Amino acid sequence: MSEKLLMKGNEALGEAAVQAGCRLYFAYPITPQSELPEYLSKRMPEVGAVFLQAESEVAAINMVYGAAGTGARVMTSSSSPGISLKQEGLSYIAAAELPCVVVNMSRGGPGLGSIQPAQGDYFQATKGGGHGDYHLLVLAPASVQEIVDLTTLAFDLADKYRNPVMIMGDGLLGQMMEPVTFPSEGSRELQPKPWATTGKTKDREKNVVHSLELLPERLEAHNIKLQRKYAQMEQAEKRWEEYLADDAEIVLVAYGTVARICRSAVDAAREKGIKAGLFRPISLWPYPSEALAKLTPIAKCFLCVEMNTGQMVEDVRLALEGRRPVHFYGRTGGMVPAPEEVLAQIEKLVAGRCEA
């Protein structure tokens, strides 16, 4: 299928999952991602796949655990408060090394918050969320087309690393309609999963999916193994995009929806003769720290823009290790910054010679 279609982000994600071979989807309705379960409730039966509306987000993520343990490609989705409920399951899934895709079309928080777009779940997604030492791979699309591309990638990475992959969108991306094309079908040959619990046949030992290790030596060894895997991800799976960043004296750092707004602000700044650029992390974990730090010889300062009160900015500061001033501008509660607001921040910084 290579024709161009006009689709909502949530629906495009569902279609991309189906085409990536997702054969089970479990979820609970929550705004602003309900178009995704609605789409898949219609679409999954068409391909002989399973759609099941769970009794809760807690149940949904545990259904994902069970299905992933059989080796099937499986997905769940939710929005911020529902993602909080999934954290127990995510910790178990990461510990048991099960591949799955989890979508967060995030909204305003904390608490019940709002149903408008926000990025307040960055810490939760990238720094753990659930208990214990583990990481999700976190991918942050900035367009409906990128939702499609990263959903396909997410299933492949989940299988490759036997790790949960989160697609971190927001209410705006989920609701927005844009033209998309889907990758050509028919090339999805899945690797065998000899570890899966499919019934112990005589030709193999039994398979057990579990996260319990009562002996501290064994649990430590398991943690070391997991950390080795995360180190491999840090080597191979950092993704980002730069826009006019080569000669930029002021570099904006933003992901997802906000990166698009910042791109407009960069264009507006350039028109005013300000050498502004944009660095857009696509993988939020692992974070593309080295690529960002490479911009320091020319960049005089960095401006991190987020729809929260300052979360990714900590990773920007860690990446730059104090070599350049890092500034922050955020809107929260479901408020989306306008390009003019961001431009005003750029102009203010330039006026203060990037030190304000």
Partner 1 sequence: MITVFSRPRSLADVSTHYCPGCTHGIIHRLVAEAIDDFDVAERTIGVAPVGCAVLAYNYFNLDFQEAAHGRAPAVATGIKRALPDRIVFTYQGDGDLASIGTAEIVHAANRGEAITVIYVNNAIYGMTGGQMAPTTLEGQKTSTSPYGRDVSNAGYPIRMAELLATLNAPRYIARVAVNSPVHVQQAKKAIKRAFEVQIKENAFSLVEVLSTCPTNW
Contact positions with partner 1 (CB under 8 A) in 21-50: 23-24, 26, 50
Encoded one letter per residue, x for contact with partner 1 by CB under 8 A and - for no contact, window 58-87 reads xxx-xxxxxxxxxxx-x-------------
Q: Hey, how many other C-beta atoms are within 10 angstroms of the C-beta on 206? A: 8
74/252 with CB nearer partner 1: 74
Instruction: Work out whether 202 is an interface residue with partner 1 (CB under 8 A).
Output: yes
Largest separation between any pair of C-alpha atoms in the chain: 74
Q: Report the C-alpha gap between 245 and 255 in whole angstroms.
A: 15
Query: Look-up: residue for tokens 């193994």?
Result: 225
Q: Report the C-alpha gap between 27 and 13 in whole angstroms.
A: 14
**Shortest Å, Cβ 62 to partner 1:** 4
Q: What is the DSSP string of 174-198?
A: HH-EEEE-PPPSS---PPP-TTS-S
Residues paired with residue 306 on neighbouring β-strands, in sequence order: 330
**Cα 188-87-118 angle, rounded to 5 deg:** 85
**Shortest Å, Cβ 265 to partner 1:** 44
Give the three-class secondary structure for 350.
helix
198/264 with CB nearer partner 1: 198
Among 39, 92, 279, 302, binds partner 1 (CB under 8 A): 92
Q: Report the C-alpha gap between 24 and 26 in whole angstroms.
A: 7
Q: Which stretch binds partner 1 (CB under 8 A): 52-60, 263-271, 303-311, 329-337?
A: 52-60
Q: Report the C-alpha gap between 285 and 160 in whole angstroms.
A: 16
219/293 with CB nearer partner 1: 219
Among 115, 209, 244, 268, binds partner 1 (CB under 8 A): 209
13/67 with CB nearer partner 1: 67
Query: Look-up: residue for tokens 């971190």?
Result: 168
Cα–chain center distance at 141? 7
Q: Which stretch binds partner 1 (CB under 8 A): 19-27, 162-170, 270-278, 321-329?
A: 19-27
**Shortest Å, Cβ 85 to partner 1:** 11
Instruction: Work out whether 55 is an interface residue with partner 1 (CB under 8 A).
Output: yes
Among 47, 208, 344, 356, binds partner 1 (CB under 8 A): 208
Encoded one letter per residue, x for contact with partner 1 by CB under 8 A and - for no contact, window 169-198 reads ----------------------------xx
Q: What residues have CB less than 8 Å from 125, skipping those under 6 apart?
A: 83, 104, 136, 138, 166, 168, 284, 285
Write the DSSP symbol of residue 353: T
**Shortest Å, Cβ 168 to partner 1:** 23
Instruction: Work out whether 54 is an interface residue with partner 1 (CB under 8 A).
Output: yes
Instruction: Work out whether 89 is an interface residue with partner 1 (CB under 8 A).
Output: yes
Q: Hey, how many other C-beta atoms are within 10 angstroms of the C-beta on 176? A: 20
Q: What is the DSSP string of 287-300?
A: --HHHHHTTTTT-S
Size of the site for partner 1 (CB under 8 A): 40
Binding site for partner 1 (CB under 8 A): 23-24, 26, 50, 52, 54-56, 58-60, 62-72, 74, 88-89, 92, 96, 197-202, 206-212
